[in-house]
Amino acid sequence: MLKLEKRPQPSKAWVWLAPVVAVIATMIAGGALFALLGKDPLVAIRTIFWDPLFSEFAFFYRPQLLVKGAPLILIAIGLSLGFRAGIWNIGAEGQYIVGALTGAGVGLMFYPMEGWFIFPLMVMAGALGGWAWATIPAVLKVKFGTNEILVSLMLVYVAEQLLASMSLGLMKNPEGFGFPGSRNLQQYPSAHNAELIAGSGMHWGVVAALIAVIFAYVMLTRHILGFHIRLTGEAPRAARFAGVNPARLVLICLGLAGALAGLAGMFEVSGPAGRVSIDFNVGYGFTAIIVAFLGRLHPLGIALAGLLMALTYIGGEIAQSRLGLPAAAIQMFQGMLLFFLLAVDVMTNYRLRLTWREVA
């Protein structure tokens, strides 16, 4: 009988090997799925993973990886800090929406005035909006012990209604013939989060994501707050002895995650998306949770995972259009990727042993 045995120390080899094995396993299982759907599995896999990076149109898709990946990475970095400390914020989608609303709101308030200070104000408003929305579950948890998973999740639905209300009311474009949705910030230079170099995909959100990755890495490895976060997650009791204030940690972790999610929303609404509309949010807040785990809650891992996830989206769209694969198949494929990584990850901390005793 096979038995899992805990390794005295996490295996260094498996830390690197696990994602590779997981991706290969996903390709095999996904290929089988595609074959079942009557598509050539090799062509499908190539279309998803190879074409966006190296085909003749890669000049267009590579920048798109940044556009699609940046919000995922930005949100996931924030979430990972909380996850490490055992604080479960799964309402990043709501914080993303509110950040976009406050950010765009400030921009629209100034319309049509031009000024260098407008965009920085919007950035601050976006971060603040996300922070405020995430602070609600944080304060409720600290004050009343309310479960943050559920409060943050409920607030997603509230934020969605708020978004609908804003698109139909307060922020509706007065020149939009009564249609829902705000003015397009892409056509308002002072508020436009434009590409820094045309055609590169680099906008301020990408820069922010990059800064967040570095910042999180330094904090987790060098700063006392990072130490407290890790300690709380790994040994809560020891953390208390070490003088960690759990309430403060909850406020900081949720607040930071909210601020980053809010920033992501703000950069998205003022850049690639351009406008507040009823369906502005597209699930980045939820996908970021998956990205955080795919990246093993490690900043560098998250950066890679965010790009990988973006690749499956972009490649998935190409596969839909060229091969007629249904969107559902791509969704399952992404689910498989996560499953395999989670399953293979066990090898990092455990090893297989052949024994004759029955496992409990």
Partner 1 sequence: MKLSKLLTTAAFALGLATGAMAQDKLKVGFVYVGPVGDGGWTYEHDKGRQAVEAEFGDKVETVFVESVPEGPDAERVMTQMALDGAKLIFTTSFGFMDPTINVAAKFPDVKFEHATGYKRADNVSTYSARFYEGRAIQGHIAGKMTESNIVGYIGSYPIPEVIRGINSAFIHARKVNPDVQFKIVWAYTWFDPAKEADAAKVLIEQGADVILQHTDSTAPLAAAAEAGNIIGFGQASDMSEYADGPRVSSIIDNWAPYYIARVKAVMDGTWTSTDTWDGIGPGMVGIGEITDKVPADVKAEALALKDAIAKGDYHPFTGPLNKQDGSVWLADGEVADDGTLLGMDFYVEGIEGTIPN
Partner 2 sequence: MDLSSINPILLLASLMVAATPLLLAAVGELVVEKAGVLNLGVEGMMITGAICGFAIAVNTGNPLLGVLAAAAGGAVLSLLFALLTQVALANQVASGLGLTLFGLGLSSLIGQGYQGIRPPSFPRLNIPGLSDMPVLGRILFSHDLMVYLGLIIVTAVWFMLKYTRAGLILRAVGENHEAAHALGYKVVRIRIMAILFGGACAGMGGAYISLIRVPQWTEGMTAGIGWIALALVVFASWKPWRVLLGAYLFGGVTVIQLNLQAAGVAIPVEYLAMSPYLITILVLVIMSADKSSAPASLGRVFHASR
Q: Should residue 342 be labelled a site residue for partner 2 when binding is judged by CB under 8 A? A: yes
| The amino acid at 154 | M
CB 98 within 8 A of CB 262: yes
- Assign 350 to helix, strand or coil: strand
CA 158/CA 172 separation, integer angstroms: 19
Among partner 2, partner 1, none, partner that 225 touches (CB below 5 to 8 angstroms by kind): none
Please name the residues in contact with 71: beta carbons below 8 A apart, sequence gap of 6 or more. Answer: 96, 205, 209, 264, 265, 267, 268, 284, 288
- How near is the Cβ of 259 to partner 1 at its closest, in Å? 22
Is 135 or 270 the residue whose CB approaches partner 1 more closely?
Answer: 270
- How near is the Cβ of 51 to partner 1 at its closest, in Å? 10
- How near is the Cβ of 284 to partner 2 at its closest, in Å? 14
CB 188 within 8 A of CB 110: no
Among partner 1, partner 2, none, partner that 148 touches (CB below 5 to 8 angstroms by kind): none
| The amino acid at 215 | F
CA 33/CA 332 separation, integer angstroms: 9
Q: Should residue 147 be labelled a site residue for partner 2 when binding is judged by CB under 8 A? A: yes
Q: Should residue 165 be labelled a site residue for partner 2 when binding is judged by CB under 8 A? A: yes
Q: Which residues bind partner 1 (CB under 8 A)?
A: 56-57, 59-61, 64, 67-68, 161, 164-165, 168-170, 172, 177-181, 184, 186, 197-199, 268, 272-275, 277-280, 282-283, 313-314, 317-318, 320-322, 324, 326-328
Among partner 1, partner 2, none, partner that 280 touches (CB below 5 to 8 angstroms by kind): partner 1
Q: Looking only at residues 25 through 54 of this chain, which bind partner 2 when binding is defined by CB under 8 A? A: 37
Q: Should residue 237 be labelled a site residue for partner 2 when binding is judged by CB under 8 A? A: no
Q: Spell 286-312 as b/e; 16+ CB within 10 A means b.
A: bbbbbbbbbbbbbbebbbbbbbbbbbb
